């Protein structure tokens, strides 16, 4: 086996058309299994499902181009591409948002209650809207603001489902049913789709059906956290055929995700996953006092700082992950970004920094063209200034406050929220998730939102319309058994 074949998944056991048919059959089987369980969800769940699928993979126009149906032509330059985008993609996102608003209107969503319980989230969105006014490209900035408005809309569609617990679980499962198998197929049998090349260095990278290896890593981190959490929820239920079937499904997807992790070589996502898994697992232990979680996190942070000052553990971690001290030139880029003249208080305007002459300015002296800062906090500062960064931090603190209260009254949902939040916060030290249709940004809205009269209880009685399998899996849940 050549090094190249080893890098991209080894030899092909089946002809690509046969592998494609088998993958399609597998996905159809998974969806049929899901529908036959008669989950207590509505057809509106397709809206956040399509939203998450697009966020984790590639825009519709890109897929049409791959399959020989180019739409809208190609941009003359990277600058033009970043400013204009594709009209088809804009229409798709706008259509999903409009449909989501229609669903919320039909369901008479409690928007006053939502505004009251999520003041920092609403304030952050309003500030982002105001920041459009000082952008050099206000129309582009406005279109991007409309797009991120889809995150809370789709999250509210989930919260207004008859059973949020089932809606969230089905959303994540169904997304994984598509994204994980087809990413494996693309990497192993269709490298022209599953492999991308750095525009300037030509280095090949595995991306699956995502836009790049970093997005593939973020997708793997998200679904691995979910399936690990689902495993801990399923394991203590009563022994039955349905339980065994569910556990096989979970373990199977965890193994597939592990293979994708190996192919993506995403060190950041792997570290974040380990942190999230550790938090979710520890919070299920009896000796962990949930009301002292802030103290535990503070003590853990202090221990890491002391270990770094005393032993320089970051150097060992980077060596273990096969990364250099510049984090693959990220630190050099950060230093250059901080030298760019912007308004430090208000920034350049909502998602406006990487537009216009600044792109060319940052290209000088580099063989590649940066179009993001590879740091979510720095990215927020460049676009929204210190005011925006402080508001983002306030939103994160407010989200943590909600999660801390949830841990005491509802450990099941609370520990997933906290595990994901910590993984996301670490992820954004070397990647950018706090912008656009990024899937991690969407899930952040799901865990950050507090909806009136919301309840996610593992001890609730099975809802009407639940399948026998759902009833079996929901009968018993005890944190002491985990």
Cβ atoms within 10 Å of 352's Cβ, excluding its own = 24
Quick check: is 3 in a domain?
no
Quick check: is 11 in a domain?
no
Residue predicted with more confidence, 467 or 358 = 358
- The structural domain count of the chain equals 1
Q: Which two tokens stand for residue 156?
A: 């509210």
- DSSP secondary structure string, 371-393? -S-S-HHHHHHHHHHHHHHHHHH
Looking at residues 164-168, what average pLDDT do you find?
95
Quick check: is 47 in a domain?
yes
Looking at residues 161-171, what average pLDDT do you find?
95
Give the domain extent around 472. 17-481
Quick check: is 412 in a domain?
yes
Cβ atoms within 10 Å of 28's Cβ, excluding its own = 11
Closest CA to 348 of 94, 141, 178, 116: 141
Q: What is the pLDDT of residue 387?
A: 98
- φ and ψ at 477, to 5 degrees? -145, 120
Looking at residues 286-292, what average pLDDT do you find?
90
Q: What is the pLDDT of residue 298?
A: 93
CA 421 from chain centre, in angstroms, equals: 11
* Highest averaged pLDDT of the listed ranges 192-201, 284-293, 411-420: 411-420
Residues sharing a CB contact under 8 Å with residue 332, sequence separation 6 or more, in sequence order: 326
Q: Using the predicted structure, report yes or no on whether residue 481 has a pLDDT greater than 90.
A: no
Q: What is the pLDDT of residue 111?
A: 94
Q: Is 236 exposed, middle or buried (0-12, 13-18, 19+ CB in 10 A)?
A: middle
Looking from the CA of 115 toward its CB, the CA atoms found within 13 Å total 5
Quick check: is 94 in a domain?
yes
Quick check: is 336 in a domain?
yes
21-25, 197-201, 247-251, 294-298: segment of lowest average pLDDT: 197-201
Q: What is the pLDDT of residue 322?
A: 76
- φ and ψ at 197, to 5 degrees? -125, 135
What is d(CA 421, CA 403) in angstroms, rounded to the nearest whole number? 9
Quick check: is 10 in a domain?
no
Q: Using the predicted structure, report yes or no on whether residue 47 has a pLDDT greater than 90.
A: yes
Looking at residues 184-193, what average pLDDT do you find?
94
Q: What is the pLDDT of residue 82?
A: 55
Quick check: is 156 in a domain?
yes
Looking at residues 27-31, what average pLDDT do you find?
97
Q: What mean pLDDT is reported for the chain? A: 88
Looking at residues 43-49, what average pLDDT do you find?
97
Q: What is the pLDDT of residue 115?
A: 96
Whether the model clears a pTM of 0.85, i.e. scores above it, the answer is: yes
Query: Per residue in 318-343, pLDDT tens?
Result: 888 778 778 878 888 999 999 999 99
């Amino acid at each position: 086996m050549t090094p190249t074949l080893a890098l991209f998944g080894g030899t092909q056991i089946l002809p690509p058309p046969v592998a494609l048919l088998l993958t399609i059959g597998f996905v159809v089987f998974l969806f049929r299994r899901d529908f036959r369980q008669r989950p207590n969800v509505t057809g509106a769940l397709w809206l956040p499902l399509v939203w998450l699928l697009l966020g984790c993979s590639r825009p519709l126009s890109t897929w049409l181009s791959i399959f020989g149906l180019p739409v809208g032509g190609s941009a003359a330059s990277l600058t033009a591409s970043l400013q204009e985008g594709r009209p088809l993609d804009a229409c798709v996102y706008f259509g999903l948002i409009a449909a989501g608003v229609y669903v919320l209107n039909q369901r008479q969503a409690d928007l006053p209650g939502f505004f009251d319980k999520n003041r920092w989230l609403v304030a952050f969105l309003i500030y982002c809207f105001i920041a459009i006014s000082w952008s050099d490209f206000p129309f582009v900035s406005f279109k991007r603001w409309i797009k991120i408005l889809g995150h809370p809309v789709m999250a509210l569609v989930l919260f207004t489902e008859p059973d949020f617990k089932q809606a969230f679980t089905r959303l994540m499962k169904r997304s994984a049913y598509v994204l994980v198998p087809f990413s494996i197929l693309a990497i192993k049998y269709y490298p022209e789709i599953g492999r991308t090349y750095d525009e300037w260095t030509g280095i090949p990278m595995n991306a699956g059906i995502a836009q790049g290896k970093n997005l593939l890593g973020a997708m793997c981190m998200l679904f691995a956290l979910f399936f690990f959490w689902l495993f801990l929820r399923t394991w203590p239920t009563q022994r039955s055929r349905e339980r065994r079937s569910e556990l096989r499904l979970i373990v199977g997807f965890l193994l597939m995700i592990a293979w994708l992790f190996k192919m993506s070589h995403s060190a950041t996502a792997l570290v974040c996953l380990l942190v999230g898994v550790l938090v979710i697992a520890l919070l299920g232990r009896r000796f962990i006092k949930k009301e002292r979680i802030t103290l535990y996190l503070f003590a853990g942070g202090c221990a890491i700082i002391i270990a770094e000052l005393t032993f320089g553990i970051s150097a060992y971690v980077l060596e273990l992950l096969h990364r250099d001290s510049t984090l693959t030139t990220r630190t050099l880029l950060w230093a250059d970004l901080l030298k760019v003249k912007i308004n430090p208080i208000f920034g350049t305007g909502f998602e406006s920094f990487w537009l216009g002459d600044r792109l060319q300015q940052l290209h000088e002296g580099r063989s590649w063209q940066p179009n993001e800062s590879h740091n979510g906090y720095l990215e927020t500062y460049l676009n929204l200034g210190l005011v925006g960064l402080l508001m983002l931090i306030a939103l994160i603190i407010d989200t943590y406050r909600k999660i801390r209260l949830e841990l005491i009254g509802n450990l099941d949902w609370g520990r997933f929220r906290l595990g994901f939040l910590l993984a996301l916060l670490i992820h954004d030290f070397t990647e950018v998730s706090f912008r656009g249709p990024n899937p991690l940004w969407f899930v952040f809205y799901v865990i950050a939102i507090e909806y009136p009269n919301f309840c996610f209880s593992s001890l609730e009685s099975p809802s009407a319309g639940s399948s026998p399998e759902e009833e079996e899996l929901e009968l018993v849940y005890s944190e002491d058994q985990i």
